[in-house]
Amino acid sequence: MKKMNLNEKYIFFYWCIAFILIGLGGCKDDHFNGIVEGNDTPPGPVTNVQVTNDHGKAVLRYRLPDDVDLLYVKAEYPLANGQMRVIKSSQYTNELVVDGFADTKPYQIKLYAVNKSEISSDATEVTVQPKEPIFNLVFDEIQVTPSFGGVRIRTLNKLKGSVVIVPLLDSLGTGEYAQLDSYYTEDSLINYNVRGLKPEEMKFAFYVRDRWLNTSDTLYTSITPLEENLLDRNLFQAIRLPNDAEFRFDTNLQMLWDGNMSEGKWPSLYTQDVAGSPTSLTFSIGKEAKISRVVIFPRRENGFYDKGNLREFEVWATNEYNQDGSWDSWTKLASCLVVKPSGTPVGTSTPADDAAGTIGWSFDMPEEAAKYKYLRIRNLRNWQGSYFMQMRQIQIWGVY
């Protein structure tokens, strides 16, 4: 018998593999990889359902049917507004969260196992009875007081739920309420100001809602906002104390209130970037005033949240200061932290971040504070992680 050479052996081997693959292709197996084509046989039902009720929601844990063709489990249930809600969970987990509930009433949930051909099992019915929804808990803690140029809304969101504070105003006293700017938050401590209102008694209404448009009761009240004005920048004067920051690039402190609001403004206030400790700037606002807020306008270079733009700083005030630059005669009005709306890392920006930088970073001062004539900005950290400062503009709000 003639022996095959090496090339002939390789050719023979390849032909054998080819015949095997052709043979496998000709043998149709409807259960290959657990997928059944056109499988109109419903899977078994979900069983052994355990319910854990939570605030405005419930967690369902269950046993999946033993079916290789299972794709997901879905829950169907009505919300208080009549809308039918459907939640799906994959075959790789035995847990599903049903949410969007507006009250503590019992709700009937129908659970279905669904296969890869979208055929559903018989329904497994279970009753949930959610705890008080978070938007109601937030509303129960709400307090509304007058503030400079508007009203201040304070409340607690201990469970950090996603809620919306909705303020309304009856500006004409006719009972017709128009919505003011709403406040979207997941913060545990909510402290929100509605601004731009006249210092006269007005009728307000406030409620809290969630993302499913479920709403709390409504608080109605009459409030007289405190007077607030943009202080006259033409009265501001630069002051140089021995331990204040040095400037770079022929910039100066007066550039901070020259009225040029251009985002990329240059030249613009820019202090020496070699500072190895917190730096400060000192100026007069011309005459004593009750200061309601300080607005910092960052300069955009690569973005608003970079380089020497302020990130963590303090605002100090006095009516008499020591010429040696010591802090003994100064009162700290506020510790301020700039927070990116998006929470994304340094070096990235979203439209919300850019919008916040454009309109300026606003920081409230204590309403109980006295009137002051001199201010000092002390920078503890910039977005580069060092101490130098760059700013395009500052605004001081309050009343003389």
Give the tens place of pLDDT for each residue, 300-331.
988 899 999 999 999 999 999 999 999 999 99
CB atoms closer than 10 angstroms to residue 85: 16
Asked if residue 2 has pLDDT above 50, the reply is no
Asked if residue 29 has pLDDT above 60, the reply is no
Cα–Cα distance list, 121 to 44, 59, 92, 258 (Å): 6, 21, 17, 71
pLDDT digits (tens, 9 = 90+) for 329-355: 999 999 999 998 888 888 888 898 999
CB atoms closer than 10 angstroms to residue 258: 15
Domains and CATH numbers, the chain: 47-128 (2.60.40.10), 134-226 (2.60.40.10), 230-399 (2.60.120.260)
pLDDT of residue 14: 52
DSSP string, 139-174: HHT-EEEEEBTEEEEEEE-TT---EEEEEEEETTSS
Percent of the chain with pLDDT over 70: 91
Cα–Cα distance list, 303 to 271, 355, 358, 364 (Å): 18, 11, 11, 24
Q: What are the residues whose beta carbons fall under 8 Å from the beta carbon of 333, sequence distance 6 or more?
A: 291, 315, 316, 317, 365, 366, 369, 372
* Joined tokens for residue 266: 């240059």
Average pLDDT over residues 69-89: 94
What b-and-e string marks burial along 106-131, b requiring 16 or more CB atoms within 10 Å of the CB?
ebebbbbbbbbbebbbeebebebebe
DSSP string, 93-156: -SEEEEE---SSS-EEEEEEEEETT--B---EEEEE--B--HHHHHHHT-EEEEEBTEEEEEEE
pLDDT: which is higher, 173 or 132 = 132
pLDDT digits (tens, 9 = 90+) for 253-272: 999 999 999 998 899 999 99
pTM comes to: 0.75
pLDDT of residue 40: 86
- Asked if the peptide bond before residue 267 counts as cis, ω within 30 degrees of 0, the response is yes
